Structure 1
Amino acid sequence: MSELTSPATGTRLHPRPQLTRERWDDLCGVWGFAHDDDDRGLDERWFEREDVFDQSITVPFPPESRASGLRATGYHPVVWYRRTVEVSPEDHTGRVLLHFGAVDYRAQVWVNGRLVAEHEGGHTPFTADLTSVLVPGETQVIVVRAEDDPHDLAQPRGKQDWEETPHAIWYHRTTGIWQPVWLEIVPRTHIQTLRWTPDVDRGRLSLVVRLNKASRQPLRVRVRLSIRGTRLADDTYALEGQEVRREVELDPVRYRAGRKDLLWGPRRPNLIDARITLLDDDDNVLDEVGSYTALRSVGVRDGRFQLNGSAYYLRLVLAQNYWPESHLAAPSEDALRREVELVKSLGFNGVRIHQKVEDPRFLYWCDRLGLLVWGEMANAYVFTTEAQRRLTREWLEVLERDYNHPCIVTWVPVNESWGVPDLEGDPAQRAFVRGLYELTKALDPTRPAIGNDGWELVEGDILGVHDYALDGDTLRERYHSAEALEQTLKTVQPSRRNFYLAGHHRRGEPVMLTEFGGLSHAPSESERWWGYGTLPDTDALLARYEDLVSAVLDSPVIAGFCYTQLTDTEQETNGLLRGDRTPKLDPERVREVTSRVSRAVQHDVLQEIHALADERRLAQLRAQGQEEAVAED
């Protein structure tokens, strides 16, 4: 195996940045490929054959994309991949693991003709242990079958179109392998997962280290934490069984003195580097992984989103994270970093990833560069028992995979009423959304969650409103005061849908415009285009963007926004950037508009000033013994 490095040691970004080992073998590149439109491959045992693989594909790009070398955009519900790898004899002393970042939608994997893995879910990772099927001294053959039925609307598909040609707001499909594939050699007993939970108030990090299996001998786990080369902790814990749970306490004096330099946020994305070592009783190293975490808290209180205990105004942009040449797959590692940099350059402090579960390497750059993320699930389009089962199971895998990323600050399992089209009339659909919300909160109580975002609210810590009003005056009328806000939500119905369902009672949740704008700059007459509102030229587009965003920022009751959208995507031409990521508008001007101080923030500051003044006055009155005046105040 080649020795490609993890982020901790240098040149390549590990496909799984929060659990890295120095030795891993990148299997992206050219694979053999075959369409199986008649679904004959299983019966004909293609996993044992080479002759049927009559095409080549560049992994991890989907076959529908140009980057794959195929651009096969028709209906191909079953596809097969094949490649060979060499595994050196010394690698047989440990476990040989084959990792897939994501295969859309249903995958089966064979090695040397033997089935080693099956997985369902197009956005989440899975691993196959190849150790028992490797043939010493031989070239190892990997075969993958991926099934992605474009007509199966119970499949969580996000914005992948079920029609052959993309229409309205749906795009070309992403079938099969679309995230990295890699091999990794690990010890027979090894670290399988890490779970970090920060405690900002106490200056601690909760850590769960789980092994692949329980050990019969006593083991110890050494945890080393540092930030910018300075050591924060170096502790060792006994491990009995399969996992150890411990609280890692940072030096209290250093934490109090340098709290700002330790907390994570968009302006100061302070990451804590971690090295986790598995030791035996004789201090022999059995396994070692690199990771990182951060001290960061998020929540909601008093109608505001909270970051590290203080009110924080969210300026998000809707991100489809779709590339013309590679679809849901990023065209390169550099493109993932560049996407984060582009968002920040336009004045936004976060993204709402829309109908997609992003590549962990994108989340890594959000962690590293300081960009907030709303994590969302790709939804199905029908409400059936099978659709519920599929979405729930995959959502659980999403929560597990991405729990450790400090950039993720909110979970959204359902967009609007996608997959639950009769929320008002069907109690089962409401129960499903409520159940997803409660399940999310049970598995991750550290972040806000929204059961469904946009309209027909069932349950959520934040009230996300989708309002595509086309002018600022309308937005000002709807959101200029608390009374106007309530009137809007109860009777105006911004998306021509009821926002509140019967029986809903406000609990002081923050209200955010989580979709608005959607302005399109009409391309030439020969091109297809789509948008919520169309402007004739870039000057008009910039003026309308300023009009809409300024109206939202003028509201004292809106706690944050998400503008639709970052980039043009297929026929959707309502991006601030074109599909190739070139700007339509002057980025500096967009940044000025986006980052202007909101009236809600000013309102919060004034309230704090008034509260302090009131406290001082009460203290003075008490000191003077004026109890009646105190009671009046």
Structure 2
Amino acid sequence: MAYPRPQLQRSNWLCLNGPWKFSFDDAGDYRQPSDIATWTHIIEVPFAPESIQSGIYDTGFHPNCWYEREFELPSIDGQDVPTAVASTGKRVLLHFGAVDYCARVWVNGQFVAEHEGGHTPFSADITAVLNPDGKQRVTVWAEDDPFDLAKPRGKQDWQLHPHSIWYPRTSGIWQTVWVEQVPATYIDSIRWTPHFERWEIGFEAFVTGQQQENVQIKVKLTAGKQLLVNDTYEVLNGEIHRRIALSDPGIDDYRNELLWSPEKPTLIQAEVQLWQNNQLLDQVQSYTAMRTVSIHRDRFMLNGQPYYLRLVLDQGYWPESLMTPPSGEALQRDVELVKQMGFNGVRKHQKVEDPRFLYWADVLGLLVWEEMPSAYRFTPKAVERMMKEWAEVIKRDASHPCIVVWVPFNESWGVPDLTATPAHRNYVQALYHLTKALDSTRPVVGNDGWESTATDILAIHDYDNNPVQLINRYGPEVKLSDLFDRQRPGGRVLTLDGYPHQGQPIMLTEFGGIAYGKPDDHSIWGYVRSAEVSELQTRYTALLTAVNQIELFSGFCYTQLTDTFQEANGLLYADRTPKFPLEAIRAATMGWSTSQPTVLTTVHLEGASNSIHTQLHCGNQCH
């Protein structure tokens, strides 16, 4: 298995995925490991107990679950762990990628960590509680109230069975667990921030452990065989903050060789070492990229140039493993499929994705809008939880070049009274400004869909599946004043009173939702339904041809990538099989005709829910 944290990798680690002992505790009788008399199940970590792949597949309401496994810690430099710790001061860290929702952790019966937040990582230094013989035992209590709507839960349903657009719950451990050995003083975290305008890369590093003087960090940056940087910086008060200036070639042709984009995802490999008095203390492997994103008037900019976004909504679920990918290869395959379908990005919807997905997006070149999973109630506790976990999300992922937009809210979920309640508006504005404070280098969409109060991109959700009506609503004849005063997709105003559109880019960030299923299958949900695959292809082609022509838009996001449980409006089935050929999907996504990209296309859907008969041009005028 690949190291689970792609941008801060060490070689000396041990994966703890695999079989663990497991028990539900519905009554909440257990408070510590010694309370558990027997273990009732074996679970395959990191798959949630609600999933088939976990080996348990229990989708009922279970507010508490317990895990335990034993593992043998390898020796350190040929010595048993206690001896090595005493002689070298080395440490052993236990890491969790994500546990939903509250986690408490014991090692060898000793309490070592507690964390709240179902989508972000946490760690514990377990050195002091290790057994001398090398055999260790880790126990985890995961508490996840299935009815609590005031916690960030995303698409996890609060009803027993998935309904409408909500899916099965994910409880407990759902990302990788691992241990690693680190020196007495080690690199705890790093952050990369490219500055395209100045041809610099911002670098921050935080060092922890024993406080030692005369400690330096060496940074070596390479692009292919080209050495870009080999610098040394003094560590002061456990951290450094530097802007690393690269040699600017001046000529665009040479500059472009180093820029990262979906068309040419050039990564800069980084080796970061910690030294003291000519002795190597710690080293990690990382990477970054030279790229910048910004807003200029009504356009989204990538590397200083207008860039049209063709995104697809990605829920990030699998039928047998839920939010956890069935394998690392599955994440790579998703990125490859999105690109083959003609999209240059995804809007990860209501999910903070596994870092390995972001790694493949970085490597293969895919833009990502990262969105915070919603809570569905507005309470002081919900506000506190959201702000804390969202800050952790940004900290975890800010160095990934693929991430180009942050989205703290979706469709006023958790803030249902934005039009009437000042506190709800203040909450959205607060998270918008908090996001900008934590990362000033990326645009922020305050509330994706409608009822905007603070945003860098005006994002519209409109599931009208009639291409003619979309062109009439957003085409060249429409006045912006009419758009914001009169049009109400989803029955919602696009901007709230007192917060007019100020020239930001306008994007159609949810549309389509065309479901395909057999006529007698009434379990399928979608915004509009096609009875045959050919009808789905015709509808998609007509819709994308129209949207690609609307010059008002700086981009779009189609709903959605895959079928997800009862929501069968994917371009792919849940197993990632295309519903119609990938080359036809790509042609439609790009606004091309599969045979003659520049000729008049006639669209006529017979027997559809809404009959459409129109003529749409594509070709040179398409974005």
TM-score (norm 1): 0.91
Picking from 158, 172, 177, the partner of 1:162 is 158
Matches within 5 A, 1:422-437: 422-437=417-432
Deviation track 1:6-50 (CA, whole Å, cap 9, x = no partner) reads: xxxxxx4210000000111010000000000010111xx3x1366
Amino acid at match of 2:396: R
Pair 1:143 & 2:139 matched:
yes
Who is 1:408 aligned against?
A: 403
Q: 1:527, CA displacement in angstroms?
A: 5.6
Q: Which secondary structure does the structure 2 equivalent of 1:541 belong to?
A: helix
Who is 1:615 aligned against?
A: none
**Partners of 2:132 and 2:26 in 1: CA distance:** 35
Pair 1:386 & 2:381 matched:
yes
Picking from 62, 70, 73, the partner of 2:56 is 70
Who is 1:172 aligned against?
A: 168
Q: 1:110, CA displacement in angstroms?
A: 0.4
Who is 2:12 aligned against?
A: 23
Q: Which secondary structure does the structure 2 equivalent of 1:452 belong to?
A: coil
The answer to whether the 8 A contact 1:33-1:79 is kept is: yes
Q: 1:586, CA displacement in angstroms?
A: 1.4
Deviation track 1:71-124 (CA, whole Å, cap 9, x = no partner) reads: 000011100000011124434431100000000000000001111000000000
Matches within 5 A, 1:445-594: 445-481=440-476, 483-523=478-518, 525-526=520-521, 528-594=523-589
Pair 1:444 & 2:469 matched:
no
The answer to whether the 8 A contact 2:545-2:618 is kept is: no
Amino acid at match of 1:564: T
Pair 1:211 & 2:200 matched:
no
**Partners of 1:492 and 1:286 in 2: CA distance:** 61
Amino acid at match of 1:393: K
Pair 1:240 & 2:236 matched:
yes
Shift of the 550–382 alpha-carbon distance from structure 1 to 2, 3 Å rule, reads same
Q: 1:522, CA displacement in angstroms?
A: 2.2
Picking from 338, 341, 349, the partner of 1:343 is 338
**Partners of 2:206 and 2:321 in 1: CA distance:** 35
**Partners of 1:419 and 1:482 in 2: CA distance:** 35
Amino acid at match of 1:29: G
**Partners of 2:529 and 2:70 in 1: CA distance:** 51
Q: 1:487, CA displacement in angstroms?
A: 1.8
Pair 1:13 & 2:2 matched:
yes
The answer to whether the 8 A contact 1:210-1:244 is kept is: yes
Who is 2:263 aligned against?
A: 267
Who is 1:623 aligned against?
A: none
Shift of the 254–489 alpha-carbon distance from structure 1 to 2, 3 Å rule, reads closer
Pair 1:227 & 2:237 matched:
no
**Partners of 2:281 and 2:68 in 1: CA distance:** 33
Matches within 5 A, 1:287-366: 287-366=282-361
Q: 1:526, CA displacement in angstroms?
A: 4.5
Matches within 5 A, 1:604-615: none
Shift of the 20–371 alpha-carbon distance from structure 1 to 2, 3 Å rule, reads same
Pair 1:153 & 2:139 matched:
no
Q: Which secondary structure does the structure 2 equivalent of 1:404 belong to?
A: coil
**Partners of 2:105 and 2:364 in 1: CA distance:** 36
Who is 1:115 aligned against?
A: 111
Shift of the 495–186 alpha-carbon distance from structure 1 to 2, 3 Å rule, reads same
Percent of pairs identical after alignment?
A: 50
Shift of the 214–132 alpha-carbon distance from structure 1 to 2, 3 Å rule, reads closer
**Partners of 1:150 and 1:570 in 2: CA distance:** 19
Q: 1:255, CA displacement in angstroms?
A: 7.7
Deviation track 1:406-433 (CA, whole Å, cap 9, x = no partner) reads: 0000000000110001001110000000
Shift of the 186–601 alpha-carbon distance from structure 1 to 2, 3 Å rule, reads farther
Picking from 61, 68, 83, the partner of 2:47 is 61
Deviation track 1:218-271 (CA, whole Å, cap 9, x = no partner) reads: 111110000113211111111122101112121223886621110000000000
Who is 1:33 aligned against?
A: 22
How many residue pairs get matched? 590
**Partners of 1:166 and 1:382 in 2: CA distance:** 19
Shift of the 600–523 alpha-carbon distance from structure 1 to 2, 3 Å rule, reads closer
Who is 1:183 aligned against?
A: 179
**Partners of 1:352 and 1:368 in 2: CA distance:** 18
**Partners of 1:163 and 1:174 in 2: CA distance:** 13
The answer to whether the 8 A contact 1:33-1:55 is kept is: yes
The answer to whether the 8 A contact 1:478-1:485 is kept is: no
Who is 1:629 aligned against?
A: none
Deviation track 1:261-303 (CA, whole Å, cap 9, x = no partner) reads: 100000000000000000002x110000000000000011120
**Partners of 1:488 and 1:540 in 2: CA distance:** 30
Amino acid at match of 1:110: W
The answer to whether the 8 A contact 2:548-2:622 is kept is: no
| Greater CA drift, 512-521 or 479-488 | 479-488
**Partners of 1:254 and 1:237 in 2: CA distance:** 27
**Partners of 1:554 and 1:124 in 2: CA distance:** 40
Q: 1:489, CA displacement in angstroms?
A: 2.9
Which structure 2 segments of 5+ residues have no match?
598-616
The answer to whether the 8 A contact 1:478-1:484 is kept is: no
Who is 1:610 aligned against?
A: none
**Partners of 1:604 and 1:574 in 2: CA distance:** 25
Matches within 5 A, 1:246-261: 246-253=242-249, 258-261=254-257
Which structure 1 segments of 5+ residues have no match?
1-11, 606-633
The answer to whether the 8 A contact 2:563-2:572 is kept is: yes
Picking from 191, 194, 203, the partner of 1:195 is 191
TM-score (norm 2): 0.92
**Partners of 1:128 and 1:226 in 2: CA distance:** 32
Amino acid at match of 2:224: R
